[in-house]
Structure 1
Amino acid sequence: MFIVSITYTSDMSQIDKYLEEHISYLDKHYEKGSFIASGRKVPRTGGVILATAGNRGDLEQILDEDPFKVHHLADYEIIEFIPTKFAPEFASLVQSYG
């Protein structure tokens, strides 16, 4: 499982210009099952994605499609972790990582 921390490197006018494309990109990867949660940081300096992409290489390829990355508007930090404790209702999301 992965946590992706996205930090904007451009001003908000540029981010907002590509926001709809970014949302479409997120929707595509939710449909494929690669992403399970995402949202804005507070304050709005970037975002966070919780991902279940197969491996780090797969995730890096997926992130390369993000319009924010394509247009060099943000930096990406990938944190991989193995869930060892989780609420029972999330078992189906983490069963392959145990």
Structure 2
Amino acid sequence: MFVLELTYTAPLDAVDALLPEHVAWLDEQYGKGVFLASGRKEPRDGGVILAVAENRARIEEIVAGDPFNVAGVCTYRVTEFRATKTAPELERHRQPAG
């Protein structure tokens, strides 16, 4: 599982101009089962996405396609972790320890 942390590198008006494209990209990834949760950080200086994929290379490929990333209005920090304990709704994403 992966935590994707976005940090805006441009003024909010530049981010907002790309928001419809970014939301469409999010919707596409939700449709593929890659994204589990997402939202803005408070204060609004970026966002966070919880994602699943077969490997980090696949996540980095997906992140590269984010219109925010393509336009250079944000940077990404990708953190991989083993989800050894989950809520029942996320049980299918649980991973063995070790």
Q: Give the TM-score category using the shorter length.
A: over 0.9
Alignment: residue pair count: 96
Q: Residues 1-98 of structure 1: matches in 2 within 5 Å?
A: 1-92=1-92, 94-95=93-94, 97-98=95-96
Q: CA deviation at 1:71?
A: 0.4
Instruction: For structure 1, list consecutive stretches of 5 or more residues without a partner in the other structure.
Output: none
Q: CA deviation at 1:54?
A: 1.4
1:27-83 Cα offsets, whole Å, 9 max, x none, are 001001111110000010000000002110000000011000000000100000001
Letter in 2 for 1:52: V
Letter in 2 for 1:72: G
TM-score between both structures, scaled by the size of structure 2? 0.93
Whole-Å Cα distance in 2 between the matches of residues 89 and 21 of structure 1?
Answer: 29
Q: CA deviation at 1:87?
A: 2.3
TM-score between both structures, scaled by the size of structure 1? 0.93
Runs of 4+ in 1 over 3 A off after TM superposition: none
Q: CA RMSD in A?
A: 0.9
SS of the residue aligned with 1:68? helix
Letter in 2 for 1:2: F
Whole-Å Cα distance in 2 between the matches of residues 76 and 53 of structure 1?
Answer: 16
Instruction: For structure 2, list consecutive stretches of 5 or more residues without a partner in the other structure.
Output: none
Whole-Å Cα distance in 1 between the matches of residues 19 and 54 of structure 2?
Answer: 26
Letter in 1 for 2:7: T
